[in-house]
Chain A
Amino acid sequence: MLTGLLIVLPLVAALLVFLTKGNTARSLALVASVAEFALSLFVFFQFKNDPTANTLSLNCTWVQSMGIKFAVGLDGISLLLVLLTTFLVPLIILSSFKNEYHKPNAFYGLILVMQMALVGVFTANDGFLFYVFWELALIPIYFICLLWGGDDRGKITLKFFIYTLSGSLFMLIGLIYLYSHTGYGSGIRSWAINDLYTAGRSLNVDQQSAVFWMIFLAFAIKMPIFPLHTWQPDTYVVAPTQGTMLLSGIMLKMGTFGVIKWLLPIAPLALEKWGGTAILLSTIGIIYASCIAIAQKDFKRLIAYSSIAHVGLISAGILSANQQGVQGAVIQMLSHGVNVVGLFLIADILLRHTGTRDIDKLGGIRNMNGQFSVLFLIILLGSVALPLTNGFIGEFLLLNGVYQYSAYMAAFAGLSVILGAVYMLRGYQKIMLGEKPSTGIEFGSLATSDKVVLITICAVIIAFGVYPKPLNDLAEPAVKALLSNMK
């Protein structure tokens, strides 16, 4: 029931926001998203008391004849991702307060619709419902990018839309194929996640391989995994900052989450056969994207490529299918989500204050605003996974997981430890340190809304870097259960 409420609340709020005008829209959206966060915290405490409580899940028939149910529920992993979503959306809304968007009611309404779909994706326990939410999430973000994006947005958003949509269609085929194999013995077909697991595992290795690649394709495009990534940098750059935050902070986790929950337990044989290939692609992506990030001038594009590198490691960890790898992936999905929103806000602040994000045209800001430089540095350290920041916990577990799959792959993937420092510190130095560029830029004090968001993010980075236990307590048993499901 409570999970259902988590989906309904943003939807109702979105409808209300559509009806308002002007600045009321954003205030209302902020209030609604904070309420949603409070509700998710309540759910979290309920879950801690009793993870199997009936009050949490919801399971009602949707289309009887086809075995489709509106079934949503929570395990440790999905709860963490729901918390990530409900935590980030208020910050994303707050970070927009210094930007003026025309038709704010539509803008903020779409963000809330997006939130509804994301929560749906993370909680769906029915294959068909999962697919519906999956596609539903694409629509608001498409319009956010298309209507409020930057130059050349038409072409770029269309490419993004078609690219991800075609991936999703393969997933649909894979899911239907699985569905057609449910009900062995009883003859009753079902989309229930556990029935799809059983169906998947009843297949032989070739059938599983076909399903694996069809479903993985959709997830790989969403993350994105090399070489399916070329829609991402353009889209991230052209999207309005809040759109980029939604895409990178939360939406890409749909892909990694999908692999954990909708692929690993379905196709264990195929994973054994093809996992190495997928890990190799992920690892190539880490190095490849890190190298490209070094060559970037636009700070926003630099972050976009660094995101490909990060998600490559997450994907490699998941596909190595051991406790440390998958748990590390879950933790890193949270850390990456928080940190990347911080980094994109920094890119936005730079643009707003100086009129450019070109790192060659910036410099000397350290001297103009010390507070901003400290906050930037903390987020950067989280991103390069310095110990005692949130990024380190996930990275250590991930490398550990990949190492157990292949020591060489881990060493190769580990190069990101070095390359990440190369591009991030280079960017930081060019933007913040040194003397003011000759063209002259001014950088005054931060807006309160920006300050609140950055300080919150920094607090989370350090808090969960020092004491990640609350996150691990949720992730550890859930991952363990999931992996035991694969045997």
Chain B
Amino acid sequence: MIKLIGLVPLFPLIGFLINGFFGKKMSKSLSGGIACVSILASLIVSVLAFIELEHSANKSHVVTLFSWISADTLNIPFDFLYDPLSALFLLIITGIGFLIHVYSVGYMHDDAGFSRFFTYLNLFVFFMLLLVMGNNYLIMFVGWEGVGLCSYLLIGFWFKNTAYNDAARKAFIMNRIGDLGFLLGIILIFVTYGSISYGDVFAKAGVSSNAIVTSIALLLFIGAMGKSAQIPLYTWLPDAMAGPTPVSALIHAATMVTAGIYMIVRSNVFYSISEVASETVAIVGVATALFAATIGLLQNDIKKILAYSTVSQLGLMFLGLGVGAYSSSVFHVTTHAFFKALLFLGAGSVIHAMGGEQDVRKMGGLKGKIKITYITMLLGTIAISGLPPFSGFFSKDEILAHVYEHSKILWFLGMVTSMLTAFYMFRMLFLTFFGTFRGTHEQEHHLHESPKSMTIPLMVLATLSVVGGVLGLPEFWGQTNWIGEHLSPIILHKDPSTLSHETEWTLMGLAVASAAAVIYFAHSMFITNGVLPVAGEDKMKPWQKLVYNKYYVDELYDTVIRKPLDAVSKAFYKFFDLQIIDGIVNGVGAAVKGTGSVVRLLQTGNIGFYVVSMVVGVVLILLFKFIL
């Protein structure tokens, strides 16, 4: 099957083409069916190939399709790499992707753009697969920008709404800022190593100077900041919630936004060499994790809460990468894909039941009305909050243990983030499902559980969120950490944990105790005391207002970047181009014309004048000669 690994991206591509060309003429069930089957086919191939890889001694397979770009020493083939890392990502992408496709058939059923939605969604899966399957940086870049395009198309899926279109454009442009860094990084890799294929590059990475490796690692990280929504390029992700909810689950939580983590794990050789780059990744990660978590505390839109949570969780993964815990971060990518996809899809089910309402202030008491949604979301919430034995507990704990070894301060900040996470997640859960219903009568009347196509994916994901921890059981429990073992061939530098068992148990106990305490606090606040978020901004305390308005970062960017750019553009055009440069050009023209009109007057046609000037001329020449 590994030889046929090219089929994995091919199926979604075929699905995209069929739906793209004929989707409008097909029935909804056919259109949705083709989209789902294409992903299912990829999933099956991915699973079969995965089994083959597990039983094979050779852990790295290259499949070359054709020579893509060739310019003298620069040769870029269009080729795929199938190794433990890409194999794992293929499973996540096609597995979660398939579930979300199925869910979407129910969720998007009444939408006029049904087949268009699946066209985009299949195209997204195609590009996401290219991103993780490429055997060189440029193929990764193809997937990288391709998923950016699909993200743009899907955020602005309801294209009549200007706010949604603005959000889509913002996402594309912010990602492009990161992409420029990535592109320059690729070029520097080529200039340094004469190749951009992973194998060639990593083999030579140790030879180049530390400064160059640092530059490469930082340039690549700029790309990761854009795609994985890290400070300062994170503000597009919360706005991206304008897209349909399955999109938020698939693209803006489970897969695309983890591309930055994939990239750094893939390039771990560079980050192992460059301490500066690793430290930068860790600091940006922890800052983002903490910053976004605080914003999450006071949001009232159920999808925005989850969006900031995603930004924060991604920050935690980068923190792990920064301290060299590559496989732990991939572990967290995996469990996060389970529970965050679940939470988004659950939120979609809530929104579906509420007739489009997203404000948690207008929900409440839903647990009896939409039971499956409630139970699955409860499981997801526990998983993300880090209570054992749910999946999030293991992956987060593994990251934090590594961070503790590296730096106590970073560990403390990571712990604070986890506590904030537990708080805002349970706040969301309590406000949505407990207490009394706060919506309109009409909404209450219409409350209903979602169809099976939506609830079954929820149940599957909930199961994965609960048991997903077995993928990476702690080594100090005497268990094998499967993900760690699995990824070990592609990770250059592994430092085994030096923590004593006592310390590990203490850290684990602290994490669980603090999460439990926070949940108890949230319970007493929102259930026992029935606290509700304040309705209007005018009733907020200043700090609440600041947090609620996301620290005014969007406004800051608007003032510091967008408005000056607009002003510069206008000034360049109206003043510099039309007045100065063109003024000079026209001035030269006018000068020539002016001189001409003066000189023209000498041509009077009067013979006498000519004779006189001739005589004067001759005299002048003679005088000139005489003087010399």
Q: A residues engaging B (CB < 8 A)?
A: 159, 162-163, 227, 229-231, 288, 291-296, 323-324, 327-328, 364, 366-367, 381, 386-388, 393, 396-397, 399-400, 403-404, 407, 410-411, 414-415, 417-418, 421-422, 425-426, 429, 432-435, 467-469, 472, 476, 479-480
Contacts and interface: CB of A to CB of B under 8 A. Distances in A.
Given A230-B577, A323-B73, A328-B71, A421 B569 contact: no
B159 interface: yes
B585 A230 contact: yes
B71 A399 contact: no
Given A327-B71, A426-B169, A469 B159 contact: no
A468 B570 contact: no
A433 B68 contact: no
A271 B59 CA distance: 50
A472 B68 CA distance: 9
A418 B69 contact: no
A387 B141 contact: yes
B169 to A, nearest CB: 5
B390 interface: no
Contacts of A417: 176, 179-180, 183
B67 A403 contact: no
Nearest to A429: B165
A429 B183 contact: no
Contacts of A404: 191
Interface stretch (B142-150, B249-257, B267-275, B290-298): B142-150
A164 to B, nearest CB: 12
The 9 closest A-B pairs by CB, nearest first: A323-B72, A295-B569, A387-B142, A230-B582, A294-B569, A291-B569, A292-B573, A295-B573, A433-B159
Contacts of A399: 183-184, 187
B180 A415 contact: yes
A471 B300 CA distance: 55
B176 to A, nearest CB: 5
Given A294-B565, A364-B160, A434-B162, A425 B69 contact: no
B624 interface: no
A435 B582 CA distance: 38
B70 interface: yes
Contacts of B179: 417
Interface of B: 66-74, 138, 141-142, 145-146, 149, 152, 156, 159-162, 165-166, 169, 172-173, 176-177, 179-180, 183-184, 187-188, 190-191, 565-566, 568-570, 572-574, 577, 581-582, 585-586, 589
B184 A403 contact: yes
A387 B172 CA distance: 14
B173 A422 contact: yes
B68 A400 contact: no
Contacts of B156: 433
B569 A418 contact: no
A472 B149 contact: no
A425 to B, nearest CB: 5
Given A294-B566, A435-B160, A418 B72 contact: no
26 contacts: A227-B581, A229-B581, A294-B566, A295-B566, A295-B573, A323-B71, A323-B74, A386-B146, A387-B145, A388-B142, A388-B146, A393-B69, A399-B183, A400-B187, A400-B191, A403-B184, A403-B188, A421-B176, A425-B152, A425-B173, A429-B165, A429-B169, A434-B160, A469-B70, A476-B71, A480-B72
B576 to A, nearest CB: 8
Contacts of A403: 184, 187-188, 191
A433 B66 CA distance: 38
B159 A472 contact: no
A414 B180 contact: yes
B589 A162 contact: yes
A367 B184 CA distance: 38
A295 B565 CA distance: 10
Given A292-B573, A433-B159, A472-B69, A400 B74 contact: yes
B589 A288 contact: no
Contacts of A323: 71-74
Contacts of B149: 381, 386
Contacts of B180: 411, 414-415, 417-418
Given A393-B69, A418-B173, 15 more contacts: A230-B581, A291-B568, A323-B72, A381-B149, A386-B149, A396-B69, A397-B69, A400-B74, A403-B188, A433-B156, A434-B162, A434-B165, A467-B66, A469-B68, A472-B70
Given A227-B581, A230-B585, A403-B188, A291 B145 contact: no
Contacts of B145: 386-387
Contacts of A230: 577, 581-582, 585
Contact of B589 (A159, A294, A324, A468): A159
A434 B568 CA distance: 27
Contacts of A387: 138, 141-142, 145-146
